Structure 1
Amino acid sequence: MRLRAGLAVLFLAATLTACTGKEDACDTSSTGSIECSADERPAAPSLSGELLEGGRYELSQDRGQVVVVNFWGSWCAPCRAEIDDLEQVYQATKDQGVRFLGINVRDDRDKAKAFHNGKVTYPSVLDPSSKLALDFDIPPNTIPATIVLDRKGRIAVVIREAVQAAEFEKVVARVAAEAT
């Protein structure tokens, strides 16, 4: 019986270690965020989807730009709290080659549009099944969550909590200032 229990613990430990993957190569010392050094960054998936206002978005169209991807839902109180901060950082950094993309999860189109319209000027993709987050090597795991991709299309930062403009703008500006 002890042998089985010991083997089960070993199997569980090995499984959990294997599941962390790319996240292990990144700095998780900061509460709620993960930062990856330039030589350890995993590639972002080939993200695409239907925009709230119609049309399609392809991440490949923004190659060479820093892309901030924010996962949100109209039902999420922290998402409502951070929306003005995100728009503020977008306005402050867009001239530095920074693009923002919202990914709305677990909403229908009407609720998402009602929340999004008039609050932000950047586009959002509708993802009611929340499948797009699963494609990331370092998944966002929470709502809200924000992923900053560098100009090479790699995951530089993952923030698993609501952002605040003053601190978040520094993070985005730092990634935007990196040499390509």
Structure 2
Amino acid sequence: MRRAALALLAGALLTGCSTGSDAVDVNNGGEFRYVAGTPRGEVIPPEERASAPEFSGNLLDGEPFSSTALDGDVSVINFWGSWCPPCRVETPEFQEVYADVRDQGVQFLGINVKETDEQFAQAFVDNFGIEFPSLHDPRGEVALAFRDYPANAIPSTIMLDRQGRVAAVYTAEVSQEDLRATLDLLLAEGA
């Protein structure tokens, strides 16, 4: 009986923010979904870091964007959707951190996924006063580019070091404390 209850609970957690059958096939056939990850995430040692893939697309304001714009800075890439409850908690906290570090060589980029109507995404950004840009990625193509990292769990956050290498991966809501600690670590590298 207890095993059955645990299996049912695990299934519910894995489908909490599931999007349905039109999801992009990423990471071994997975769909975009909310999963309970490790809150502290994983910081990758410098000698084990791999270069992040290049990607491009249009920002919510319609402007074109290329990942080369992140070159030379520490970058926080956050995969989010207005349909995802943890994103409503995390995104305003990201804005607070962004306001504190944007003049220290840190860039933030949101990746809005599985949002076919940009109006919902823009309303989300406007409602929370988000100042950092967000790429509109309704088909999850950027997540597909990051296939070696679990960017199909929403929210997910990938942090890049100044060399454009993947330095940290979070597959759950990131606390402000953990975000700041990892940024401090990455900013101190090579300083």
- TM class, shorter-length: 0.7 to 0.9
Write the distance in 2 (CA, Å) between the matches of 1:84 and 1:113.
Answer: 14
In the alignment, is residue 123 of structure 1 matched against residue 124 of structure 2? no
CA displacement, residues 50-81 of structure 1 (integer Å, 9 cap, x when unaligned): 00011111111221001100000000000001
Number of residue-to-residue matches in the alignment: 153
Write the distance in 1 (CA, Å) between the matches of 2:141 and 2:54.
Answer: 13
In the alignment, is residue 148 of structure 1 matched against residue 163 of structure 2? no
RMSD of aligned residue pairs (Cα, Å): 1.8
User: Percent identity at matched positions?
Assistant: 42
User: Residue type of the partner of 1:109?
Assistant: E
Q: What is the TM-score of this pair, normalised by structure 2?
A: 0.75
Checking the alignment, whether the CA contact within 8 Å between 1:93 and 1:173 is kept in structure 2 is no
| Larger displacement relative to structure 2 (168-177 or 69-78) | 168-177
Write the distance in 1 (CA, Å) between the matches of 2:54 and 2:150.
Answer: 14
User: Residue type of the partner of 1:158?
Assistant: V
Runs ≥4 residues deviating over 4 A: none
Q: What is the TM-score of this pair, normalised by structure 1?
A: 0.80
Write the distance in 2 (CA, Å) between the matches of 1:99 and 1:31.
Answer: 24
Name the residue aligned to 2:168: 157
Write the distance in 1 (CA, Å) between the matches of 2:123 and 2:38.
Answer: 32
CA shift for structure 1 position 141: 2.9
CA displacement, residues 88-141 of structure 1 (integer Å, 9 cap, x when unaligned): 111121121000000000112111001012421000000001121111122323
Larger helix share, 1 or 2: 1
CA shift for structure 1 position 147: 0.5
CA shift for structure 1 position 34: 2.0
- Determine which of 35, 46, 54 is the counterpart of 1:46: 54
In the alignment, is residue 109 of structure 1 matched against residue 118 of structure 2? yes
Structure with greater Cα Rg: 1
